[in-house]
Chain A
Amino acid sequence: MSKKIISLKINDSFLRTALRNFAAQYPSARARAFEGDDLESLRDRVSAIRDNALDQVSGLVEKFREKAEETGATVHLCRSTGEALRTILAIIREKGAQAVVKSKSMTSEEIRLNPYLEKEGILSLETDLGEWIIQLAGERPSHMVLPAIHKNREEVAGLFSRETGRDCLPHIPSLVRTARETLRHAFLSSRVGISGANIAIADSGTICLATNEGNARLVTTIPETHIALAGIEKIVPSLSDAMEILSILPKNATGQKITSYVSLIRGPSEGHELHIVLIDNGRSELAADPRFREALKCVKCGACANVCPVYEIVGGHVFGHIYVGGIGLILTPFFHGMEKARDILGLCIGCRRCNEVCAARIDIEGLILDLREQGNKFPGQKALLGTLMRNRSLFHGALRAAYLAQKPFQGRDGRIRHLPLVLGEKAGNRSLPPIAERPFRDLARDRGKSAPEDQGGRERVLFFSGCLADFVFPEMCQDTVESLECLGYSVHFPREQLCCGIPARYSGEVEIARDMARLNTEILMKEQADFVVTICPTCATSLKQDFPLLLADEPEHHSMALQLAAKVFNFAELAARKAKKTVTSADVEPVTYHDSCHLRRGCGVFREPRVVLEEIAGRRIVEMEEPDTCCGFGGSYAFKYPEISREILKKKLEAIDATGASAVAVDCPGCKMQIEGGLDSMKSRVRVEHTATLVAERLRGI
């Protein structure tokens, strides 16, 4: 993705405000819309309905065709984009139409219908207000449900003035009235109307449209010929399936309980023609793909964009191709080719907020990671990551060399603030902590025998520190060991442990990640232990969730990985087991808490750290706004897309500042590095500490 476009979007203040306001309002609007619903079981049902439909997609296509044709409709099954375009053109030509009116259809965007018809001398007029605005501007939708969210009233007034030849004022109700009056004539004079379809129902041959403006009702009523476009994956077996989807779609899309109009259309009205163009365009193949078929479960609500911290910064013209948001990143390689997708796949920061809201429970983040493996490799990356990461002494040797190389850039407090030009830009106006002179693995060796190892009755914990904590925050590791020992565990640090493999997986290097999974599993399972503790939730998700998946085809290692997964816990989880509320928090300054993405959504852990902070560390917590929104770190993301990372961080820093707390507790060394770097460049005095450090401070004091 070109840096220029990214910074253009970052500096587009209207876009930024519009997306920020929407992101701020969406969660509560959504929650209100779902009031009284059992949302999680509704998501389960929708997921099952979509799964079931994909299992029998070719059968449903035949059933739908049979039932729709019984009503007098004509069904055209088109394998490719070209076939669909030619079919639509032939229908329009047969009707002798020079112009057609259209209601909103993402599928028509997918096949680039308007430019094609224009080239063939046919005016295809968008009538949905947002779609008309972007058609006049010569742009593409930047959101699946709110296509013109990036345009303000002044821009719209300019476009409308140019189109109508009248002076249109930037007054929204008058602009809406102008659209009504200007497009009305087109509705009344067009012989052909084109719509999309939100859902198609096989057992009655019905198509279903959910709209708000009323244009789709005109498009499907006034012209004598109606062409409806739908991807074949939109077909579900029965009306009850369609109703479940309808009960989640508008609520998840914009927080609306139901759209103004839901139209169920079965067959052509008297004297009218109905052509239903079913588009495959790679869907059959995708539906048969064991891993990526999930992407076709999408109901096109756009919620994945609504909650995406990156989308909020750059919008849909950067975060997507034609389909935007998290699902857009996934659909693009299948519908428009890996060439178009390669750049945008890297834009996901991996926070998993999309997974949490997806109507069909698609593992959006996981699919993006797997697609990176296929598309986002740059020459040299494999050799570098592979050689360095599989070889512990080489990797650790490189990090030690970096300790010496960083010296000239360190300030008096040791932090790195002035990197040479290119690297300075990468740091994105954050200072960086230095690589420690002595990593934790050295400290652990020296400490060795003095630890209360294997004292009778103590549960034995293996400490998997993660590279960042080991080499940058060794004191955080010491705090972890001391805290757990004070809480009654015995702790051992296996020195052979390697990187968890996440950086490789995030860069699309699955083979390297698999090697790391195998080696680490062997190392950690060699020793007797009740638990494996991590202080980095990204390592935790890797050990718990990725290792068994990566080793699925290696029976012996797979079963070891499953045993290992059952033993892996985050620090806060192990500490919380020993919480007794023995301390008072009255005399200590309050802290605020930032939920790391991979702890909150990756591990489902958010109560435990709060319990530990209050009941063991004796801290009162003042919650910040959206404590579980990403801090913008995302591992290498912060260095790959420093501008985006910095903007996401800015919002987090404002939320922290608003609490007035003197410290932020986190459970992730990456979040600590990111937030601390941001606070440092603001010259803030707020400390950022791992929960383990705050616990250790308290326990040392007792």
Chain B
Amino acid sequence: MTPIPEATERRRLNIFRILKQFGPLLFLIVLMAVFTALKPSFIDPINVFNILRQISITGLIALGMTFVILTAGIDLSVGSLLALCGMVAAIVAKGGAASSLSLSATEGAGFGWFAALLAALAVGSIAGGVQGVAITRLKVPPFVVTLGGLTIFRGLTLTLSSGGPISGFDADWRWFGTGLIGPVPVPVVIFAVAAVLCHIVLRYTRYGRAVYAVGGNAEAARLSGLRVDRILISVYVIVGFFAGLASFVLAARLNSAEAVAGMGYELTVISAVVIGGTSLFGGIGSVGGTVVGAALIGVLQNGLQFNNVSSYTQSIVIGLILIIAVAFDRWLKSRARS
């Protein structure tokens, strides 16, 4: 029972604090180093951009999900909502679901990619807003409302499309999925710009402060004059908006809007946010963390694939990483306190 000398104790605590803040990032770097050591071509720019393009779709939704989880909420409907937005966008672009059988781009028949984008964003935002209203006004927990949304939106998508895909878009739309700006794929640019904007909103604006406050203590937020219900509704609008944006990019990349698009995305998205250090209990987290979380999942998937690990094993590994990340976070927290 000899007392620990003061200096050592201090230094150790600092290490914990650094680990707590940059743990996921350090892990990402280590992981990349390992994959590079296993196969040096892993770090080739082509592959790196490939990873970034892969994560940009779920990454976009994860940005929105960060807002939701910061308020101690959850949105399970994002995968289905993405499919619905994509389908609506395709119908708008092609001027109706009837032309879904034509596989070629039908220039001039519909309303073009810009109308499609607006439609996707509008459907996503409105659907998110409706869920937000149900959560705040009907007092149904977010888990339940968005679980309902998950099946409702999928059902709507299947109804709209009669089950089949709508394919063949014009080149302008496809550019958003397949084009390059310099060496950088367009989806990556969209994701990066969106991430920076979200970071600015959360870190530097009045609205961002309100989101953290509502997530940190909703009752105290209400008694401090924040319109808690409005803020809660707004975060579901934001995640819906991003589901719409992601659907637009995904449809462009695949040149097709699929009724089964986005199946299981909610899990990848929530994993990215949580691995990035955002607390499911609200009030703690950051956009930077989410970007790292999304990258971590992307690197793992790509790196494992690169080394011929089956996709079955990949999902086992990602699940384990999710649990370990949160357990590690907890452990650091308890170490930092005692």
A binds B: no
